[in-house]
């Protein structure tokens, strides 16, 4: 069994998250950008860490004593959670890790009593769209030529995050997430979310 641990990024993890950013996004955020997120009271910057044994399958360039395999970021803006970053290292994609990380971001937003979540996604990114729609996100608009290559972004929204009626929905997402990880040999370690009202 491979362990995966979701936790807030710390300053000690900045070199590793920059390396992960390069693998996932081609160098989307700079060191200064990550440092700003670390000190912002309105930002939740989470990473997925793998135990060392689980990471031995990776290339020499991606091995480390404390490997990061995923990164996600969410901004709290008034009563809205704006998901700005979500990425899983390419060799660990399609194993339920993105689904698990997204759930952790939504649980964090719910803990902050934010009412809705939003994000932008490439119109052509059918894999990401399928993931977000699994969590109930719906297309609310389009930003023409949003990305550097001129591609449009779809604006996705998910409402009523703090509604008590969603507790059973979050419980279902939580169980489905654990099951998907288990199918790929992953076991989530207790994380920062353990102190939150996780189903």
**Distance of alpha carbon 81 from alpha carbon 157, whole angstroms:** 10
pLDDT at 191: 61
The active-site residue out of 120, 147, 174, 183 is 120
55 catalytic per annotation: no
The active-site residue out of 132, 146, 147, 183 is 132
Task: Please state the rounded mean pLDDT for residues 72-88.
Answer: 97
Contact 19, 27 (CB under 8 A): no
pLDDT tens-place string over residues 109-162: 999 999 999 999 999 999 999 999 999 999 999 999 999 889 999 999 999 898
Task: Tell me the two tokens of residue 143.
Answer: 């930003």
Task: Please state the rounded mean pLDDT for residues 151-175.
Answer: 91
On whether the 2-115+160-189 domain is CATH 3.20.20.70, my answer is no
Chain centroid, CA 181 distance in Å: 15
Looking at the whole model, is its pTM more than 0.85? Answer: yes
pLDDT above 80: residue 66: no
120 catalytic per annotation: yes
Give buried/exposed letters for 118-148 (b at 16+ CB in 10 A, else e): bbbbebeeeebbebbeebbbeeeeeeeebee
Task: Please state the rounded mean pLDDT for residues 41-51.
Answer: 94
Locate the domains of the chain by residue range: 2-115+160-189
pLDDT tens-place string over residues 2-24: 899 999 999 999 999 999 999 99
Percent of the chain scored above 90 by pLDDT?
77
């Amino acid at each position: 069994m491979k362990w995966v641990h979701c936790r807030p990024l710390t300053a000690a993890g900045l070199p590793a998250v920059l390396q992960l950013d390069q693998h996932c996004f081609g160098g989307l955020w700079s060191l200064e950008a990550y440092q700003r997120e670390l000190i912002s009271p309105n930002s939740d910057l989470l990473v997925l860490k793998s135990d060392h044994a689980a990471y031995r399958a990776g290339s020499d360039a991606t091995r480390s004593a404390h490997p990061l395999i995923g990164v996600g970021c969410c901004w709290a803006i008034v009563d809205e959670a704006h998901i700005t970053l979500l990425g899983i290292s390419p060799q660990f994609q399609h194993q339920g890790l993105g689904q698990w990380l997204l759930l952790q971001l939504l649980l964090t937003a719910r803990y902050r009593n934010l009412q809705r979540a939003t994000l932008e996604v490439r119109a052509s990114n059918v894999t990401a769209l399928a993931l977000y729609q699994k969590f109930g996100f719906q297309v609310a608009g389009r930003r023409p030529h949003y990305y550097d290559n001129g591609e449009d972004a779809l604006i996705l929204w998910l409402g009523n995050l703090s509604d008590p009626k969603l507790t059973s929905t979050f419980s279902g997402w939580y169980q489905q997430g654990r099951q998907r990880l288990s199918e790929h040999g992953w076991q989530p370690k207790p994380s920062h979310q353990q102190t939150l009202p996780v189903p």
